[in-house]
Amino acid sequence: AQSVTQLDSHVSVSEGTPVLLRCNYSSSYSPSLFWYVQHPNKGLQLLLKYTSAATLVKGINGFEAEFKKSETSFHLTKPSAHMSDAAEYFCVVGYSGAGSYQLTFGKGTKLSVIP
């Protein structure tokens, strides 16, 4: 069984300041972990993924996440927020079985960026 907990439902930052979106997971398997972003009226877009290679993962738009097995965490960070980062972010744990993927989503964190 696998589950994901996003610790904040809403995060608000000022433009130019760092972003931290927190995620903890549990998985019976070696996890594949992802962050997806959803901008208003857009589909879910993959930001970055961890699949048991480097523990520090770099994604698109300057985001990165660090896999910490001892803390079962996969927090998303960005050094400097931009207005265009305002969106909903989902932490996801993935399992690939026979015939399909199973993605287990967190509840999402809404990021607001204040000018």
Partner 1 sequence: EPEVTQTPSHQVTQMGQEVILRCVPISNHLYFYWYRQILGQKVEFLVSFYNNEISEKSEIFDDQFSVERPDGSNFTLKIRSTKLEDSAMYFCASSAQLGSFEKLFFGSGTQLSVL
Chain residues in the site for partner 1 (CB under 8 A)? 4, 32, 34, 36, 41-46, 49, 51, 90, 94, 96-108
Per the listing, tokens 């480097």 go with 54
Kindly tell me which of 99 and 115 has the beta carbon lying closer to partner 1. 99
Least distance in angstroms from the C-beta of 81 to partner 1: 24
Kindly tell me which of 97 and 115 has the beta carbon lying closer to partner 1. 97
Least distance in angstroms from the C-beta of 48 to partner 1: 9
Least distance in angstroms from the C-beta of 80 to partner 1: 25
How far apart are the two ends of the chain, measured CA to CA in Å?
41
67 within 8 A of 33, measured Cβ to Cβ? yes
94 within 8 A of 103, measured Cβ to Cβ? yes
Report phi then psi at 42, rounded to 5.
Answer: -120, 165
